[in-house]
Amino acid sequence: MSTALSDLQLPQVTEHVSSQEFVLDKYIDDLYEKRGSTREKALGALVDAFESFVLLGLVEDKYVTLLSQFTNSIKKGSTTEVCMACRAIGLLAMTLGPGSSSHEIMDESHPQLLRILQTWPDASKMISALDCLAVVTFVGATDLAETQLSLKAIWDVIHPKSGSNVGIIRKPKPPLLAAAVSAWAFLLTTVGSSRRNTDSWKEPITFLSSLLEAEDRAVRIAAGEALALCFELKLLDVSSSEEADVDSDTRESSGSKNQLFLNMQGLKAKISGLVYNLSMEAGGRGADKKNLNDQRDLFQRISDFIKSGECPEETLRLSGKNGILRVTSWHESIQLNYLRRFLGRGFLKHAQDNDLLHDIFDIKMDRIENMSNTEKKIFRSEEEKGRALKLNKERRLAQERKQNILDEQYG
C-alpha cells in the first residue's frame, strides 16, 4: 500500500485522497477473505502503510471496521497473522491519538491480548501482544485503574509466581522477559511520582534488581532502565506520612516505624552497587563488544543519575531548523526508545507528522519543511487554489459593493 500511495504524482492531485481511500478499502476487503495468506498479505500492506504515512484522515471513519477485522485475525489467525494484527492495532491507536476512538480500541482489544498473555503460546505471539497492550494502553487509557490493569497483566509475565494463574509456574525466556520488562517500564512512565505507595513497590523493585544479575544482557539492560525510572519517580523513597502510617499500624514492635525506610535504603545500596559493576564490566573472549559498550554506557548513566541526579539527555534533529526532539529525563528516554523501536522505519515520519508524538515530546514542526517534493507540490497547489478562491470572493464582493453604490446614486 505504501508503494501505491507514494507513487501518486502531481497530475493526480485532485484524486490523491480518493486514490488512497480506494487502496485502503481494497485491503480492508481482503481482511474478510477465508484464505489466511490473503489476510496476512492485506495486514502486511496495512502495517506498511501505517508506518509510512500518518493516515488519520482516512481511518477516522473506518477504525471500527479495521479494529473488528484485526481482532478477528488475533482470534483465528496463524502466528504470523496474529503478530501482524497486534502490530496493526497498536499502529491504529497511534494514528488516531488520545480520545474516545483509541479508548475503544483499548477496550475491544484488551480481552484478546490478555488471553494470549494468560495462555502462553509461542514467544513471538506473546511479545507482539505485550507491545500492542502497552501501546494501546499508553494512548487510550483515561485513568490510573486502566493503566494498572495492563501493568499487572504485563507483570504476571515478568514474574509469573505473583500472578493469578494456578498450576505450573512458567518462566519466561530471555527475549520474552526483556520485552515484558520494557513494556512494563514504558507504561510506568505514565503513572507519575504522585501516584505511589513505597511499600507496594518494594516487591517489584526487588525482583527487578535481581534481573541485574541475569545472564542475558538484554534482560539486564531492560531491568536497568526500569530501575532508573523507579529512582526518578522516587518509588524507593519513604515519605514521612508513610513512616507515620507504619508506626500507627504496628505499635507492638518498637522498631517497626523505621523498618520500611531501612529496607528501601538497603535496596538502594544493592542496586547502586550492581549498576556500578555493570558499568565497569570487562569483556571476556568472544564478547559482543558493541552490546557490551551499550551496556557500559547505559549503566554509567544510571550510576551518575543515582549519585548526582544527572538525567540523560538526547537530541534528535528531525528536519530543518525547527524539527528537534529533545529528551531530558529517564521517562522521556524510555518513551522515546520504546516508540522508536515499535514504529521502526516509520518513526521519523510519525515524529514529523503525528500530533501524538508532538504532544509527548513537545516537538514544534514546520509542516511544509518536512514534506517530500510531491507533497509540497500538492500542498502549494491547494494553497494556490485557496488563494484564488479568496481573490475571486473579494472581487465579487467589491463588484457587489460598487453595484450597490451605483444603484444608490442612479436608482
> What are the pLDDT tens digits along the chain (411 aa)?
444 444 444 344 335 556 677 788 999 999 999 999 999 999 999 999 999 999 998 899 999 999 999 999 999 999 999 999 999 999 999 999 999 999 999 999 999 999 999 999 899 999 999 999 999 999 999 999 999 999 999 999 999 975 455 456 688 999 999 999 999 999 999 987 655 677 788 999 999 999 999 999 999 999 999 999 999 999 988 764 555 454 445 454 445 547 878 888 999 999 999 999 999 987 654 466 778 899 999 999 999 999 999 888 999 988 766 678 999 999 999 999 999 999 999 999 999 999 999 999 998 776 545 555 555 454 445 445 445 555 555 566 666 665 666 556 555
C-alpha cell at 208: 527487578
CB 94 within 8 A of CB 350: yes
CB 409 within 8 A of CB 362: no
C-alpha cell at 239: 515519605
Return the pLDDT at 281.
87
C-alpha cell at 274: 550492581
C-alpha cell at 227: 530501575
Return the pLDDT at 1.
43
Where in the chain are the domains?
A: 17-160, 378-410
Give the CA distances from residue 91 to residues 84, 120, 132, 148, 276, in Å, rounded to whole numbers and listed in that order: 10, 23, 9, 22, 37
Question: For helices 36-52 and 16-30, what crossing angle results, to 10°?
Answer: 150
- Burial class (CB within 10 angstroms; exposed 0-12, middle 13-18, buried 19+) of 317: exposed
Long-range pairs, 211-219, Cβ under 8 A, ≥24: 211/177, 211/181, 212/271, 212/274, 212/275, 212/278, 213/274, 214/174, 214/177, 215/174, 216/174, 216/177, 216/178, 217/288, 217/291, 217/292, 217/295, 218/174, 218/175, 218/178, 219/174, 219/177, 219/178, 219/181
Give the CA distances from residue 367 to residues 14, 60, 286, 354, 376, in Å, rounded to whole numbers and listed in that order: 21, 21, 48, 11, 10
Handedness of CA 276, 279, 280, 282 (dihedral sign): positive
325 membership: H or E segment, kind and range: strand 323-327
Handedness of CA 242, 244, 250, 254 (dihedral sign): positive
Rounded to 5°, the CA angle 375-378-383 comes to 125
Cα(202)–Cα(204) distance, integer angstroms: 6
pTM for the model: 0.82
C-alpha cell at 257: 516505624
Q: Which residues pair with 53 in a beta bridge?
A: none
Return the pLDDT at 186.
98
First to last CA, the chain: 63
Q: Which residues pair with 319 in a beta bridge?
A: 323
Which residues are CB-neighbours of 262 under 8 A, at least 6 positions away? Answer: none
CB 265 within 8 A of CB 204: no
Cα(399)–Cα(359) distance, integer angstroms: 46
CATH architecture observed for domain 17-160: Alpha Horseshoe (1.25)
C-alpha cell at 177: 522477559
Alpha helices in 189-329 (DSSP H): 198-211, 217-232, 240-249, 259-279, 289-308
Among 299, 301, 302, smallest CA distance to 278 is for: 299
